[in-house]
Amino acid sequence: MCGLLGLICPTEDNAGNAVNAVASALPCQRHRGPDESDTWHGGEVVFGFNRLSIIDLEHSHQPLSWGPPETPGRYTILFNGEIYNYLELRAELIEQYGARFVTDGDTEVIVAAYHYLGTSMVGRLRGMFAFLVWDNERHVVFGARDPFGIKPLFYAAGPGGVAFASEKKSLLALGTTLGLSGDVDSRSLQHYLVMQYVPEPASLHRAVRRIESGTSFTVSPGGQLVTERYFAPNFNPRVINTDADADRLHNDIVDAMRDSVAKHMRADVTVGAFLSGGIDSTAIAALAKEHNPNLVTFTTGFERQGYSEVDVAAESAAAIGVKHVVRTVSAEEMMQTLPLIIWYLDDPVADPALVPLWFIAREARQHVKVVLSGEGADELFGGYSIYREPLSLAPFERVPDPLRKAMGRVSTAIPEGVRGKDLLRRGSLTLEERYYGNARIFRDDQLGSILRNFDPQISHTDVTAAAYRASEGWDAVTRMQHVDLFTWLRGDILVKADKTTMANSLELRVPFLDPEVFRVASTIPLEQKITRETTKYALRQALAKVVPSHVLNRRKLGFPVPIKHWLRDEMHDWARTIIQESQTEALLNKTAVLQLLEEHRSGVLDHSRRLWALLVFMIWHGIFIEGRLSPQVPEPHYPVKL
């Protein structure tokens, strides 16, 4: 796992003049790959790379050039990620095509597969990846991003060419070379304040966008970027008529998970695992221990009752027999470190859980270079509590549409904080109108008083419409899962996982987000996902013999953060100072924001998530737009304790 930066210029002369600019922009993402850094210039392209050495440590240096015997050096590749089936794919390329390799890593396998299999090779890759391949014969760049969006890939186009990078900061550093503006995208800001992240393919800078998950692309010097979706998740539930049918499903799940974890353990460095108190991370750790008896697990929490899974995680670690490391986080540490974390993020993500995740990643990097984690299980297996909402709202489906709309109007007259208000409001809406992911920060009727340029024509449905169209005819829960794959998973879950770990030069791997695991998960029928008593029913049944009994049916917490309490006490003055000093008057009504803070402090209403979203944006704005805040970025240095 590393950091890539590629610039495709209109002419060779442009590229020659841009070499120093690319070299100067590379340090912005040095934390992603502190082991090596190099640049390469050929034809109309300039490639730069920061490497975190995980596989084939002594070789597989990048940018890496490769070619068949008749045209050696024809291709040059930049690759961020890991391909877990590279050994099998390498053997196939040797056997069927006589491919020759000079390294033992996965990078060379990608470029060889591209040569022999063409662009369809991307569907053969089992892993997490973002890559660029320059073909010096055809003068074209081919690239792709993994199916679920585990690894990021930003891009920007201007008169100076088109550039791609693992970190948006590197593209902003190339702004003069590319001819970019640094304006805030007001549309993306409005989406952020509703969804707590900036949905793909946009970013909060108008000039910078993202290659979407499951997408490949080509671009020629001076030409337009052409994208193609190669992966579209599809759900095909199997029929469960008998106990034997259910048993086969559960066996298929555990077999797929065991195989995925085995392949995710491939590395030439030590692999550990994150461990919370839930079934997902516990299952990953238990399966990983089958391959590494000396596995080390890591968890984080807070010294406040109800906001820590430290005790449960420790019990799980003891039950599966692994060494366990705990890192607790204080309110003071969060306040001090948040600007630095936001600098690493590139775009604001208003998920408080990313802060403790950053701290546990920093602790883990003192012990290991790679960790496994449980992201993706909820989206694939039906794990979120909100997936049970269609059951609770079922009675509303039988109400005639005019009456349902009237109920919605009644809900607007009910004061905020009154029990039943939101249920009545949501029951009056269709699935497409009400569901856009786990986080619901500001409603449209709340944004008008906060956002200066609020546009009522902008809606979350702009983001979710395509996913809903593609899932027409599916049951409501599966449609919610499908929407989450394109929104919540890649916008929040995977962004915070990638950014907080790579900030600490730590590679995070997610075995649940594996094509073979998805292939099985996509066949789970509704009754094996959600019941009135539990979520992820089939997964829990499948893992009954893998995880300790005390976590099998435990309610999901993740890494909960006590910001509700802290913003009333320890963090109140800190929050007020951020609001007062922020130069965001043209975008936000700061008087209204301060009113939210005081209402929250008095206990009138719980505005903690809305306040957190605003505070994160204000800090982001202070760093990337105002230039007023300059977090001290530490040099990567990780003395391993093992």
The catalytic residue among 2, 128, 178, 202 is: 2
Going by C-alpha positions, the residue among 239, 251, 237 that lies closest to residue 541 is 251
Please list, in sequence order, all residues whose beta carbon lies within 8 angstroms of the beta carbon of residue 640, skipping any fewer than 6 positions away: 270, 366, 367, 368, 369
Count Cβ atoms below 10 Å from residue 223 Cβ, excluding itself.
14
Question: Is residue 127 a contact partner of residue 109, using CB atoms and an 8 Å limit?
Answer: no
Q: What is the rounded CA–CA span in Å between residue 104 and residue 57?
A: 9
CA distances from 212 to 127, 132, 235, 269, 432 (A): 16, 14, 20, 30, 22
Q: Please state the length of the chain.
A: 642
Strands 507-509, 370-372: pairing is: parallel
Q: Residue 121 has which token pair?
A: 């090779």
Question: Is residue 477 a contact partner of residue 530, using CB atoms and an 8 Å limit?
Answer: yes
Q: What is the rounded CA–CA span in Å between residue 594 and residue 613?
A: 13
Strands 296-301, 271-274: pairing is: parallel
Radius of gyration, CA atoms only, the chain: 24
C-alpha dihedral, 173 to 451 to 560 to 564, nearest 10° = 130
Going by C-alpha positions, the residue among 165, 137, 154 that lies closest to residue 3 is 165
| Residue 104 annotated as lining a ligand binding site | no
Residue with tokens 């596989």: 55
Q: What is the rounded CA–CA span in Å between residue 482 and residue 53?
A: 34
| Residue 24 annotated as lining a ligand binding site | no
Q: What ranges in 211-309 are assigned the alpha helix state H?
A: 243-264, 279-289
Strand ranges inside 9-114, DSSP E: 36-42, 45-51, 64-66, 75-83
Does the active-site annotation cover 28?
no
Going by C-alpha positions, the residue among 347, 49, 47, 6 that lies closest to residue 157 is 6
Q: What is the rounded CA–CA span in Å between residue 570 and residue 556?
A: 27
| Residue 106 annotated as lining a ligand binding site | yes
Known binding-site positions: 106, 373-374
The catalytic residues are 2
Known binding-site positions for L-glutamine: 106
Known binding-site positions for ATP: 373-374
